[in-house]
Every structure is written in C-alpha cells, then in structure tokens.
Amino acid sequence: MGRQTSVNSPDNARGSSAPAVPGPGPGPGRVILAMNAITKTFPGVRALSGVDMTVRAGEVAAILGENGAGKSTLMNILAGVFPDYSGDIELDGVPVAIHSPKAAQHLGIAMIHQELNLVPDMSIVDNIFLGREPRTARGTIDRRAMDEQATRLLAEVGLALHPRRPVRQCRVAEQQLIEVAKALSVSLRLLVMDEPTSALADAEVRRLFTVIRRLAGQGVGIVYISHRLEELDEIADSVTVLRDGAYIGRRDMADTTRAELISMMVGRPLDELFPRGDSPPARGDEVIRVEDLDLAGDRREGRAALHGVHLVARAGEIVGLAGLMGAGRSETLEAIYGAFARRAVHGSVHLRGRRYRPRSPRHAIRNGIALVAEDRKAQSLVLTNSVRFNASLAALGRFMRWGTVSAARERAAVAGMVIDLRIKTPGLNAAVGNLSGGNQQKVVLAKCLLTEPSLILMDEPTRGIDVGAKAEIYQLMTELTRRGSAIVMVSSELPELLAMCDRIVVLCEGRVTAEFRRGEATQEAILDAAMDRQAVLGVEVAPALQAPARREVSDE
C-alpha cells in the first residue's frame, strides 16, 4: 500500500490510511510475490529444490508441510536470512535479490519468527522502533513521537497495553501481536508468520486472526506457516504444500479438503491421527495420587501458584491437564517432577501407593518419573550436541561399564530408540540443533524412555510439530499406556486432549475447576471450566492477570 510514499516517510504509522491502490480488499489482487525455482543447499543436504510460490495482495497464503519440508528455509530466504540461494524472486513484477535481512526490510518484507525476536527487558515502544528510533531536531530520540505511534500501532493490532511496559511483562500472545505492530511500523508489503499460533491458547488465536484479516484487507500479502490444518480452514485463502524440500502443489482453500492436504503433505493418506479407541482401558493400579498440592507462585520467574491441586493417574491411563496459559498446568507437572525448590511445594504425593516427596529431577528419574518439558529447545536439549549425547543424558547410569560410559551399549540403546521412534537423523552423532522440530521432540521422548519410566509427564508433547510426527507420538503414547505406563499430559489443543485422554482435569488460576471422564467432555465445557475462576473471582484475580489497572494507563 502506497509504498512510494511510505518508503519516504517510514515514520508514517500507516494502517488507518487508504487501502492499497491496486486490488483493494481481499480476494485475488495483483501478484505481490513470485518465487520461482528456489533451490537452497546446506552442506550435505538439499533443503529446497525448485520451489515455486506466489502471493497476491490481500491474500493469506499458507505454506504447509511436515517438519523438515523446507517451509522455514523458504521463508528465511525471503527474509534474507540465507544469503546464497538460486532461483528468482520477483516483488511486484520486479526481480529482486534479497541477500540480507536489511534488504528484505527495505523491500517491505517482514518475518515473524517462531521464536520471537523481542528484547525482553526493553519496553514495547523501544522494541518496535529498535534501530529506527525517530529523532528530534536536536538529534535526541523523539520519545513523544515514538509513544504516539506505538500507541496507534498497538491499537491497530488490538492491544491496549501501555507502550512503556517492558516486554518481559507481556504474555506470549501479546508479544506476538507486538511483533506484528513492529512489522507494521515500516512500510509493509508482505508479512511472513512462522507458526504464530504454536504458543497461543484458542482465544488468543482468535484475536490474532482478526488482526491478520484486517491486514489482508488492507492489501498486505500474508504468508502463513502452520501445522494446524483446522486453522488453515479458517484463515488461509490458498495453500502451497511442500514435502522434503520439493514443491508438491498449490490449492485454493475453498477447493480442497483436509484429507487431500494431508495426503499431499505426508505423501500417503493418514489413516487415523488419533489411535485411541473409545473403549475404556483396563483400570490399573494408581501410579500417582496428588492431593492438596500447593505451590508458591513466583512473579519474577513467571511461575503461577497452585492451590490444592488434586490429580490421580492409573497405570494404562492418559490424564489430560487443560486450562489457559498461566493456569498452572506446567507448574503442576514440574512440581511433581521436583523441579522447584522444596520449600515452595506443599501437599501429599503418593507414587505407586507409597508416599513420595518431590525432591529433585534426579530423584524423580530414579523413581520412574520422566518429564517431557514444554520448551524442548530451552528445557530439554543441548542443541549443539549430538543425538546420542542428548538421548542418553538422563540414563547414562545404565550404560556404565568399569566406571566409564560404554560407548557400545550407549550406541546400541540410542540406535534402538532412533529406529523405534523413527527419528529422521543423518546419524547418531548429528547435532540435535540441525534436526526438525518433530525429530527433536522424538529425541526428547527417547531421552525420557531410556530411563524406563512408569509415569510420564508430558507438557505440550506435540507443540510445533507436523501432523505426521504428531500421529507417531500419539501412537507411541497409546503403546506406552498399553505397556502399563501412566501419562499425564498438558495440552493447549483441545481436540488432542479430547481424543487422547481418559480423563481431563481442568485448571484455572492454580485450582482444579472440573474433571471430565472420556466422552463426557466437550470443548465448550472445558473452556467454561478453564475460565471459571476469572468470571467468579474477577476482582481478586485481576492483579495477577496484570490487566485492568494497566489498561487504564494505556487509555490516556
């Protein structure tokens, strides 16, 4: 939209200005972006071979593909992250060479990465204008102009936050929208979003979609990378499918079905995503019983408090923990696992009938508890080290011979896991950081399984991984329960919980607000229970939600 003018005046906080000159409104406008025969090779791997992609003005063009299919690589080329590639990129019919992120920015291409690129200790406004701060005549930073524009940009993405608030205090969903606002602060032709919803709860996804639609309505081309097919139904106009770095096809969203997309993406029809039958499993012994679990919250570390959480899991059972962000789901798992200081945790835990006091992760592993942590990169993996190193880390004691780690035993065990879990890796010594998200998650699972746990705590086990890998993980979970493990699983995706869990416990503000048996739960009932406390205790809870008080400030 009006790019000649906005290039000259980048301070212009666009948005409410007139819509794009050609192709107003949604629907097929002119072609903004055409990528032809893009090829990119990494040492030893051809990541992309001859991929085509077009985006029209006002279109939400989705890119779909399994992990490692090359979606992110393609978009990183567009954003100038990878300077050497072959193929042509045309922007508004003009051939361009994008060899640096700066060049991409000048062309009006913005990318919002899966891992957000905000400086947590700086304020929202400082993040938005980072590196492009407007100056006053005297050469100092023009704070007032920045604040004004920031407020306008934030309003445009539907945020009512004060621009001077530190980003650290904003929730993930808010940070996502701040990134969008940042992208809007320069003249924007094309916005690339890499899995923007992977960390968001359903309500927050809605809000993001509203913003995306509004942007598309203004003529911005949106490239939307996601694994969640149900989202694409809702938001995407067209879908480009990649598989193993190759272009498979492009469909208009209206003319395709979910089954077709899956088969394009996976290369084979996916029989059944969720392998669990409806028959209730044989009731095993209680593996874990948690009663009156209290946890002191810690605002500085962003840790929610728990108040009297009850939880029981039997052998062969999958128990789901539902709730909004900050409801204390992860905290429940981590408290059982012993990740918190002992003085912060109170309550009684019985493990296989015996009293158990969470002491440390080490202690938990020895007692047959394993945790698949929420953030695999930050909490689970040593990314620069090999698959072998990571998978065996928690179970090294099992591979000892004469006081040293027996490389042969270790290799055999890890290789077995690599085969069982079908981890796609060039070798056992390949760095985990080079694997795709789904395969990284499988390495995390391998690490847990090598400790031979009887209770597996899974925090968002399928976050940010593709359908194929998801199905495999569901299969694995089913298999584990069949062998008598108990699984407690946290997930933000309700369909996943509904399909996989024997029972679903709903948390809200650190309290259990409902418990459903398999078949009794519906998405609506779970959401009701998850918001329950907010409605009832609105006033009391408000400060913890960091909402109204601050909002007033920002409304000035």
Partner 1 sequence: MSSRTTPASPRALAPPEPPAGRSVRTRLRGVLPVLGSLQGYIGLVLVIAAGMLTKGQVFWNQQNLTNAVGAFASRGILAVGETLVILTAGIDLSVGSLLGIASMVSALLLVHQNMNIYEIVPLCMVVGALFGLANGAATALLRIQSFVVTLAMLNVVRGIDRMLSNNVSVGTQLINAQGQLTPRSAQFQVLGTPGHNILTGLPLPLLGRAGIYYPVLALIVVVVVFQLLLSKSKFGRHIYAVGGNETAARLSGVNTTYVKIAVFMLAGLLAGFAGPIDAAYSASADPLAGSSYELDAIAAVVIGGASLAGGRGSIVGTLVGSLILTLLDNVLGLNAISDNAQLIIKGLIVILAVVIQRPDFFRALGPSVRRLGRQIHTRTGDPPGTAANTSPQPQPATPPLEESR
Binding stretches for partner 1 (CB under 8 A): 43-44, 68, 243-245, 267, 337, 339, 360-362, 364-366, 371, 373, 378-387, 389, 392-394, 396-397, 400, 403-405, 407, 411-412, 415, 418-419, 422-431, 447, 451
Question: CB of residue 401 vs partner 1: minimum separation in angstroms?
Answer: 10
Length of the chain: 556
Tokens 């406390």 sit on residue: 533
Residue indicated by tokens 């272009």: 247
Which lies closer to partner 1 via its Cβ, residue 297 or residue 468?
A: 468
CA 121 from chain centre, in angstroms, equals: 22
Give residues with Cβ within 8 angstroms of 159, minimum separation 6.
174, 177, 178, 181
Cβ-based nearer residue to partner 1, 139 or 403? 403
Distance from C-alpha of 427 to C-alpha of 264, rounded to nearest angstrom: 27
Residue 97: exposure state from Cβ atoms within 10 A (0-12, 13-18, ≥19): exposed
Closer residue to partner 1 in complex, CB, 159/476: 476
Is the CB of 113 or the CB of 424 nearer to partner 1?
424
Residue 272: C-alpha distances to residues 411, 449, 478, 502, 546 (Å): 33, 24, 13, 18, 42
Q: In terms of CB distance, is 418 or 529 closer to partner 1?
A: 418
- Which residue, 243 or 463, has its beta carbon nearer to partner 1? 243
**Residue 146 to residues 102, 134, 185, 189, Cα–Cα distance (Å):** 21, 7, 10, 22
Nearer to partner 1, 69 or 128 (CB): 69
CA neighbor of 234 nearest in space, from 28, 69, 62, 64: 62
Q: Would you say 369 and 455 are in contact if contact means Cβ atoms under 8 Å apart?
A: yes
Quote the CA–CA distance of 295 and 292 in Å, as a whole number. 10
- Minimum CB–partner distance for residue 204 and partner 1 (Å): 25
From CA 58, how far away is CA 31, in angstroms rounded?
10
Least separation in angstroms between residue 479's CB and partner 1 is: 14
Q: Measured between alpha carbons, how far is residue 308 from residues 117, 303, 332, 340, 347 in Å?
A: 37, 16, 10, 16, 8
Q: Of 415 and 545, which CB lies nearer to partner 1 in the complex structure?
A: 415
d(CA 91, CA 146): 30
**Closest separation in Å from C-beta 64 to partner 1:** 16
CB of 197 to partner 1, least distance (A): 25
For the CB of residue 202, give the shortest distance to partner 1 in the complex, in Å.
Answer: 28
User: Which class for 469: exposed (0-12), middle (13-18), buried (19 or more C-beta within 10 A)?
Assistant: buried
Distance CA(149)–CA(132), nearest Å, equals 13
Phi-psi region of 340 (alpha: psi -120 to 50; beta: other; left: phi over 0): beta
Nearer to partner 1, 67 or 238 (CB): 67
End-to-end distance of the chain based on CA atoms, in angstroms? 30
Nearer to partner 1 by Cβ, of 337 and 516: the residue is: 337
Question: In this complex, which beta carbon is closest to partner 1, that of residue 307 or of residue 424?
Answer: 424
In whole angstroms, the minimum distance from the beta carbon of 243 to partner 1 comes to 7
Q: Cα–Cα distance between 477 and 464 in angstroms, integer?
A: 17
Min dist CB 316 to partner 1, Å, is 25
Strand-strand pairing, 486-490 and 455-459: parallel
Of 177, 229, 502, 199, residue with least CA distance to 374: 199
CB of 384 to partner 1, least distance (A): 6
3-state DSSP call for residue 239?
Answer: strand
| Distance in Å, CB of 65 to partner 1, minimum | 13
How far apart (Å, rounded) are the C-alpha atoms in residues 215 and 217? 5
Closer Cβ to partner 1, 71 or 447, answer by number: 447
DSSP string, 481-537: HHTT-EEEEE-S-HHHHHHH-SEEEEEETTEEEEEEETTT--HHHHHHHHHHHHHHT
Could you say which DSSP state residue 376 is in?
I
Q: How far is the CB of 374 from partner 1 (least distance, A)?
A: 11
Read off φ and ψ for residue 207, nearest 5 degrees. -60, -40
Return the number of the residue (41 or 169) whose C-beta is nearest partner 1: 41
Taking the complex as a whole, how short is the minimal distance between the CB of residue 55 and partner 1, in angstroms?
Answer: 27
The nearest distance, CB 399 to partner 1, in angstroms, is 9
From CA 17, how far away is CA 24, in angstroms rounded? 13
Smallest gap, in angstroms, from Cβ of residue 361 to partner 1? 5
Closer residue to partner 1 (CB): 72 or 392:
392
